[in-house]
Amino acid sequence: MGNEADGAEAGDTRKPRGINTRLAHIGHDPRSFHGFVNPPIARGSTVLFPDAGTMERRDQAYTYGTRGTPTHTALENAVNELEGSAGTILLPSGLAAVTIPLLAFAEAGGHALITDAIYNPTRRMADSLLKRFGMEVEYYDPVIGAGIERLMRPNTKIVFTEAPASNTFEMQDIPAIAAVARAHGAVTMMDNTYATPLFFKPLDHGVDISIHAATKYPAGHADILMGFVSANQRCWERLHDAHITLGCPAHPEDAYLVLRGLRTMGVRLERHQRSTLEVSRWLKGEKGVAQVLNPALPDDPHHALFARDFCGSTSVFSIVLDGTGDARRDKAKAHAFLDALKIFGLGYSWGGYESLAVHVWLGDRTVSRADYGGPVIRLQIGLEDVADLQEDLTKGLAAAARV
């Protein structure tokens, strides 16, 4: 059904269908299950074989619950079409989606290069499990670009990227980094949760493995944990083997709900983008805001790379509040700002329908540590009305100004 939805059948000269049309139809053909628009939820552990020979050969589509169900297949097919990947695995969280590919390609005595502006749980995994696997972990400045060449070694196995950077939103030159890694025989991985394959397709830019916390935009409703990992042909077999070996499948009911979430992801991202850009531009002129960290804004120092590679922006960015020069007082300002908010929830994650705010901690940075001059607040702009969000943020800024 994927090719049919894309208007790409052999000999078909129709204009390829738009992304929202594709999202509405990819992954499941209603004709395959009595015409029901959504696929059935196939729950189960044991799968029966028709005879001993088939069982010995495992010569049927499904063999055991940990190896997937028709519900998983529907979502995997949809993601493969969006990513242009050879295969996709579904995992029970976004962090699991980071962990599995790192473990899959880890080798004792190997060397991993990881962006210093990485999602903090990824850093914790790299600094603990990955090192205990015998990998040396080195962090690099996210703006290094092709300069990563000087950090490559004969034993470099993994180059891990993320763009924009977690919390501070620096852009990475992904094609340049991937080209250097490929020339040295290393595998390039990218956490592409921010952009989704709608706004950036890593495999089209030289990346080998694309990682998403599907908890965010694909699920879209702050009620599911899931991760996707998609690989090119070069890396698919090894990634898939690690997934099967470690035995950590996503739940089929979650796969069903995330596939349902994909149907509206395009229109939700349109709203997120429009509202986030409006709020970002407005905040740049507000008293008490020292800086807005959003590469989608034309005057952001990372905008050129963003505009070159990405075809849209999403719902998260950060602001820097005016600093006082005193760390304790700056923390009090951040807390006052957050505690005054009524519409913005104080919570982790993002990509759901609700607006969120969190005081960013940057103490884990090493080679890219910078003083932003004041507390950094990450905002997730949800689907609420912009005027209401602006009013809420105004109250937060007023509270911070009183500290």
Do 256 and 279 lie in one domain? The reply is no
- Which pLDDT does position 12 carry in this prediction? 55
Do 155 and 196 lie in one domain? The reply is yes
User: How many other C-beta atoms are found inside a 10 Å radius of the C-beta of residue 91?
Assistant: 25
Sheet holding 289-293, edge to edge: 289-293, 316-321, 376-380, 356-359, 345-346
List helix spans (H) across 58-93.
70-83
Q: What is the dihedral of CA 322, 324, 325, 328, to 10 degrees?
A: -110
- Which pLDDT does position 344 carry in this prediction? 98
DSSP symbols for 236-286: HHHHHHHHHHHT-PPPHHHHHHHHHHHHHHHHHHHHHHHHHHHHHHHHHTS
What pLDDT digit, counting tens, does each position of 160-207 carry? 999 999 999 999 999 999 999 999 999 999 999 999 999 999 999 999
Do 294 and 251 lie in one domain? The reply is no
Domain count, the chain: 2
Could you tell me the CATH number of the domain that includes residue 318?
Answer: 3.90.1150.10
Domain that holds residue 163: 2-261
Last residue of a domain, one of 193, 228, 261: 261
Could you tell me the CATH number of the domain that includes residue 220?
Answer: 3.40.640.10
Give the burial string for 298-310 (b: 16+ CB within 10 Å, else e): eebebeebbeebb
Q: Which of 304, 224, 306 is nearest to 259 (CA)?
A: 224
Do 198 and 274 lie in one domain? The reply is no
Do 209 and 289 lie in one domain? The reply is no
What pLDDT digit, counting tens, does each position of 124-157 carry? 999 999 999 999 999 999 999 999 999 999 999 9
The pair of three-digit structure tokens given for residue 366, joined into one six-digit string:
């090493």
Do 91 and 231 lie in one domain? The reply is yes
Last residue of a domain, one of 227, 261, 295: 261
Do 6 and 54 lie in one domain? The reply is yes
Last residue of a domain, one of 261, 295, 322: 261
Do 348 and 384 lie in one domain? The reply is yes
Do 99 and 197 lie in one domain? The reply is yes
Do 284 and 159 lie in one domain? The reply is no
The residue behind tokens 């063999």 is 63
What pLDDT digit, counting tens, does each position of 264-313 carry? 999 999 999 999 999 999 999 999 999 999 999 999 999 999 999 999 99
What pLDDT digit, counting tens, does each position of 312-371 carry? 999 999 999 999 999 999 999 999 999 999 999 999 999 999 999 999 999 999 999 899
Do 179 and 278 lie in one domain? The reply is no
Do 369 and 383 lie in one domain? The reply is yes
pTM for this prediction: 0.92
